[in-house]
Structure formats: structure tokens, C-alpha cells
């Protein structure tokens, strides 16, 4: 799968959550000067609660920081376009 196979389901301020295929939930954030997408795996529970944790106060973004510190499973950057299934976890 490629980063272009991502299906955006919920959006909010330079970020979204969605899916790759039928079973891989992902968080998308636009990065860099070109707003290239970067994807981190999330759980179904995190997907369902996106509206809550994506609106956390700037001083209390524990969930967002946790997700962003997870491995990038793919991105729009050259050489990272393919989904790296070795980085997927059971979450």
C-alpha cells in the first residue's frame, strides 16, 4: 500500500484520522514546508476519540504527543511512500 491509499475520514487543523485498507487506522499530519503528509498508526479507540484529543489545550497534548512519537508508517516524502508493515503494532 502507498500513502496515496489513505482514506481521510475525520479532519481538523492540518491533521486527520482515517484508514489504510480495512484494518489499519492512522493519524495524518501535514509536515514541512510543502505540507507533505506523514502517517502514524493509531487504535480504533483513538480514531473514535479524535475530536477530543485533537482539541486538547496546547499545554496538555499528551495523546497527540504520544501518537506523533510513534514510528512513521509512511509519508509523502521521497523514499517513504510505501506502507512499512514491519512498523505496525497490535493496538
What span, in angstroms and rounded, lies between the C-alpha atoms of 13 and 20? 21
**Cross-strand partners of 26:** 18, 41
**Cross-strand partners of 57:** none
Report pLDDT for 79.
87
For the entire predicted model, the pTM comes to 0.90
Model confidence pLDDT, tens digit, residues 15-71? 999 999 999 999 999 988 888 999 999 999 999 999 988 887 666 778 888 999 999
Amino acid at each position: 500500500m502507498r500513502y496515496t491509499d489513505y482514506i481521510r475520514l475525520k479532519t481538523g487543523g492540518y491533521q486527520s484520522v482515517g484508514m489504510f485498507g480495512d484494518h489499519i487506522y492512522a493519524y495524518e499530519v501535514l509536515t514541512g514546508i510543502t505540507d507533505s503528509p506523514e502517517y502514524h498508526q493509531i487504535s480504533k479507540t483513538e480514531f473514535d476519540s479524535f475530536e477530543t484529543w485533537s482539541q486538547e489545550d496546547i499545554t496538555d497534548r499528551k495523546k497527540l504527543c504520544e501518537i506523533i512519537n510513534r514510528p512513521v508508517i509512511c509519508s509523502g516524502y521521497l523514499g517513504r511512500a510505501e506502507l512499512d508493515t514491519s512498523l505496525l503494532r497490535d493496538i
